[in-house]
Amino acid sequence: MSVFVDLYLKASQLREQAELLEAVEETMTELRQVPAVSRDAEAAEVAARLAGRVGRLRDALDTLGGRRA
């Protein structure tokens, strides 16, 4: 029985993490559209790298079952 409780709790944590990550993804999209970022090559590159890392985190979370609703 405790195994099922643990699985339920882990699934809940994954859903919560997926929701938080979605907020980060939305913020990244907005950041990359800010003129000061998009016009500055270095800032745009840093934002692109960060977006890539967030994307890899999303892939890992999706693999674990934290898929978006």
Which tens digits make up the pLDDT trace of 17-54?
999 999 999 999 999 999 999 999 999 999 999 999 99
Q: Out of 10-14, 49-53, 61-65, give the one with best mean pLDDT.
A: 49-53
Q: Which residue is associated with the tokens 């500055």? A: 40
In this structure, is residue 37 part of a structural domain?
yes
Q: How far is CA 20 from the centre of its chain?
A: 7
Using a 10 angstrom Cβ sphere, with 0-12 exposed, 13-18 middle and 19 or more buried, the burial of residue 66 is buried
- Domain count for the chain: 1
Structure tokens at 23: 């907020």
In this structure, is residue 32 part of a structural domain?
yes
Structural domain span for residue 56: 2-64
In this structure, is residue 52 part of a structural domain?
yes
Q: What is the pTM of this model?
A: 0.77
Residue 21: the pLDDT is 95
In this structure, is residue 9 part of a structural domain?
yes
In this structure, is residue 58 part of a structural domain?
yes
In this structure, is residue 69 part of a structural domain?
no
